Amino acid sequence: MDDLADQRDAPPAEREARVEAWTHALQDDLAAGTSTDPVRHALVDTALRWHLDLSSLRGAMTSTREDVRGRRFADWDQWRAWCTEEVVPWVDQLRHLFEQAGAPMTLRLDRHKDYEQFVDGAQLTDILTDLSTDLPQGDLLLPHEALVAFPGVEDDLRQGRWSPATAALIGEMTALARQWLTQPAMTRGMHPGAAIVLDTVACLMRAQLDAVDAAGPALLERAPRPTLVARARILAPARLRARLAWSLTPLTVPGPRRPSAPLSAVSPAAESTALRPPPPHPGGARPPQIPADRMPAHVAVIMDGNGRWAQQRDLPRPQGHRTGGPAVHEMIYGALEIGLPHLTLYAFSTENWKRDTDEITTILDAIRHDLDDGPLRDLDVRQRWLGHPDKLPDELVHALRREEHRTRNRTGLTLTVCINYGGRDEITRTAAALAQAARAGDIDPRFIGEDDFARHMPHPDMPDVDLLWRTGGEQRTSNFLPWHATYAELHFTPRYWPDVDRRDLWQAITEYSRRQRRHGAAPLIPARDDASASLSR
C-alpha cells in the first residue's frame, strides 16, 4: 500500500484511487476467500486461516491513502500520532498471529516506550529511504521541529540540493532512527521465534540506515537499498536460528482451508480420513447460494423455547430439552453446508441455575451425551466451550476440554457452545484479568484500549457476531455475548427450538444477506433508493 501511495508515475489523485481500489479489492477478496493478486492472496489466506480480524486495519489504510495528499507535522508529537495510526495496527495483527500460534509476542507494558520507539524508528527509516520519491512530490515527512535545527535545510531539500545542512540533518535523523530501533530489552521474555523475527527486522532496518548514510547525494536521486551481501549476512543466520527456535516449540498451526461453501467434499485437514460431510437434509433441501461478500462470518443463536414446546404438549419441561437435541445437530449441519465459519450456540446461561434440579440435570446430561458419542464427532467442526466451570459437573468440564483439544486443528466450522455462560460474567472476569495484568506490571492502565480488552477475553480470536438469532418468540438477548454482538443484526423467529431445522438457519442468513450494515457510517445509497429497493424485494 505504501508503494502504491508513493509511485512516482501517477498524479496524487490517481495514486489515491489506486490505494482505495486496493483496499476495496481486499474486502472483496476477503469475502471470496481468495485473490488473483499474490500479495492480497497471502494476506487473505493468512487472515482466514488464523482467524485474524483485519477490520482494525481500516484506519491505517485510510491514513495511508490520505498520505497521498501530503502531510505536514509541526512537531514530533504530531508525527508520532500519525505513526501510531498507520503502523501500530499492522504490528498488532502480527502479534495476534503469533499469539494464536501459541508463541505470544508478549509486550510488557513497562516496555511500552521501547515498543513505540521501535515503531517510530521503522517509520523514520522508511521516510529517509523514500526522500527521492517524496520530495519531488512536495512531501517532506519530517516534523518542522527537526528541521529548524538546520537553517536552510527545508529549502535545500525541497530544491533537491545536497548541502552541508542536508548532510547534517540526514546524519542526525539516521542516528535517531538507529537509536529508536535498538531496543535490546524489547524482545525479552518473548518466544524465541518471535524475538528472532523482531530482532532481525531491527537488523535489516539498521542495514537500511547504513545504506542511507552511505548514499550521500544519491539519496535525493533514488531510494538506497542494502547490498545483497549485507542482507544475506543478516538473514542467513537468522533463518537458521529461527528454524531451531520453532523446531523446539510446538506451534498451533491451522491446517489448509477447505474450499469455500457449499461444502462438497471432506476437508483435507490432518484427520481427513476420519472426517465426513454432514448428512443431507431429510427432505433434500439444499443451502441457498449467498454471495460471498454477503455471508455472515459469525452467527450466534439463542436456542429458546424448549420448555414451552413441552408445556404446550402437556409434557414435563425436561422433555423439551431432549427433543431440542436434533435441532442443535441440524444447525451444525446447516452451517457446514452453507460454509459458515463461526457458529455460537447459547445452551445454558449463568441465570439458568434458577431452574429445577431435574431440568438442569437434563440439559447438562444432554450436552454431555452429545460430547461423548454424538453425531458431531467426525464432522469438520472445531468445538469450543465458552463459559465458566464453577458449579458444572467435573466430568462435563473434562469432556468439554477433551473435545476442544481433540478438534483443535479442524478448519471447517468453529462451533462455540456457551455453557454456564453470562455476558456480564465474561466482562467482569475480563476486567479482573486486565486489573491483574496491570498489577503485575504487564499492562499500563493508561494505554488500555478495546484491543487489550478483547485480548483478555476467554476466546480472544472470537470474531464479532454478525447475526444474532433467537427462536421462541422472545425479543431480548438475555445476557448473551454483549461484547461481540454490539453491531450484530438481530433476527427473532416465533417457532420453538425443537421445531427448527437447518432451513431456518439458511433463512436467517438469507435475510441477513439483504440487510445494509453501516457500523455508524452514513448510508451508502440515498435513503429514498434504499426504501424503494427494499419495497421492490
Strand, helix or coil for residue 378: coil
306 binds ligand IPE (CB under 6 A): yes
Rounded CA separation 154/537 (Å): 60
Smallest distance from Mg ion to CB 304, Å: 4
Residue 92 binds Mg ion (CB under 5 A): no
Q: By C-beta, is 64 or 420 nearer to ligand IPE?
A: 420
Contact 459, 481 (CB under 8 A): no
* Binding flag, residue 370, Mg ion (CB under 5 A): no
Residues 345-384, interacting with ligand IPE (CB under 6 A):
346-349, 351-352, 363
Mark 468-484 as b/e (b = at least 16 C-beta within 10 Å): bbbbbeeeebebbbebb
Binding track over 281-320 against Mg ion, x by CB under 5 A:
-----------------------x----------------
Contact region with ligand IPE (CB under 6 A), list: 15-23, 73-81, 248-256, 468-476? 468-476
Query: Rounded to 5 degrees, what are φ and ψ at 490?
Result: -100, 145
Decide if residue 469 touches ligand IPE (CB under 6 A).
no
H or E stretch at 51: none
Q: Is 106 annotated as a binding residue?
A: no
Name the residue with cell 508463541.
103
Task: Output 186 or 363, the one with its CB closest to ligand IPE.
Answer: 363
Q: Is 489 annotated as a binding residue?
A: yes
Partner whose binding site includes residue 98, from ligand IPE, Mg ion, none (CB under 5 to 8 Å by kind): none
Whole-number Å distance between alpha carbons of 374 and 377: 6
Between 187 and 350, CB nearer to ligand IPE: 350
CA–CA dist 212, 214 (Å, integer): 5
Helix axes 164-181, 112-129, angle to 10 degrees: 140
Q: 394-406 vs 357-373: helix axis angle to the nearest 10?
A: 30
Determine, following the binding rule CB under 6 A, whether residue 476 of this chain makes contact with ligand IPE: yes
Stretch that binds ligand IPE, among 169-177, 232-240, 286-294, 341-349 (CB under 6 A): 341-349
Whether 390 sits among the annotated catalytic residues: the reply is no
Q: What share of the chain is helix, strand, coil (3-state, %, to 5)?
A: 55, 5, 35
- Minimal distance, residue 503 CB to ligand IPE, in Å: 20
Does 294 belong to an annotated binding site?
no
Binding partner of residue 180 among Mg ion, ligand IPE, none, CB under 5 to 8 Å per kind? none
Catalytic, 479? Answer no
Query: Which residue of 80, 308, 459, 503 would you call a contact of ligand IPE, by CB under 6 A?
Result: 308
- The catalytically annotated residue of 114, 352, 370, 420 is 352
> Rounded to a whole number, what is the distance in angstroms from the first to the last CA of the chain?
39
Backbone angles phi, psi at 44, to 5 degrees: -65, -45
Query: What are the grid coordinates assigned to 20, written together?
Result: 482505495
If one asks whether residue 359 binds Mg ion (CB under 5 A), the answer comes out as no
Which among 29, 92, 134, 304 is annotated as catalytic? 304
The DSSP-derived string for 259-315 is PSSS--S---STTTTT--PPPPPTT--------GGGS-SEEEEE---HHHHHHHTT-
State yes or no: 477 annotated in a binding site: yes
| 38, three cell numbers | 499474490
Secondary structure of residue 225 in the 3-state scheme: coil
Residue 463 near which of ligand IPE, Mg ion, none (CB within 5-8 Å, type-dependent)? none
Q: Report, as residue numbers or ranges, the catalytic residues.
A: 304, 352
Binding residues for substrate: 305-309, 317, 321, 349-351, 353, 355, 470, 476-478
Instruction: Write out the residues near ligand IPE by the rule CB under 6 A.
Output: 302-308, 346-349, 351-352, 363, 472, 474, 476, 478
